[in-house]
Amino acid sequence: MSKGKKIATAIAVLVFTALVSGLTTMAVSNYGSRDDPLVTLSYLNQTVRPQIEAAVDEALNAKAAELTREFQSIAGQSGTVSGSQPSGFVVLTLNNGQTVTCGVGTEIMLRIGSAVSNGPDSPRLIDETGGTSVGSSGTDLTVNHMYMVTIKGNGIKATRDNTKVLIRGDYTVG
């Protein structure tokens, strides 16, 4: 090989090496920079996702609490309020003389105060805790017993102000 070819080859190798080094340096300096951040899947799964889920859960819980307070304030007023909560219990606050008329399968638990069974048809309620039927209208309910309505139109009547019941299912407060 001639001396000129060796020099040209050496220069070509140097230029190529410099070009590759320059491109590598440029790529490395921009990789994961502030303008183009590098985000890994584990960072998204372990850090970002839980933060987003926590924020969404907090917002949903706040809205659910707000709606529950609104519903309870409406239920405490005179007039008629209807509701349906098939997936969970709702706390109702009743005044003396207010009635709750229920659909079939509605469950009621007296927590605070006093109430009696109410409705046109017998059995008025089924005491799921005691395993008995509540046959006559006006029978006192037992605190912390779970009752189920098996005939549409039956339910309960509060006999004291600030009576609180847990209820799940279709109902109307009047």
- Residue 18: pLDDT over 90: no
CATH 3.40.1130 assigned to 80-173: no
Q: Which of 47, 93, 53 is nearest to 69 (CA)?
A: 93
The reported pLDDT for the residue numbered 94 is 93
CA–CA dist 131, 136 (Å, integer): 16
Q: What is the mean pLDDT of the chain?
A: 82
pLDDT over 90, % of the chain: 28
Assign 79 a pLDDT band (cuts: 50, 70, 90): very low
Ordered DSSP codes for 46-75: IIIHHHHHHHHHHHHHHHHHHHHHHHHHHH
The reported pLDDT for the residue numbered 35 is 64
CA–CA dist 107, 125 (Å, integer): 9
Domain ranges for the chain = 40-76, 80-173
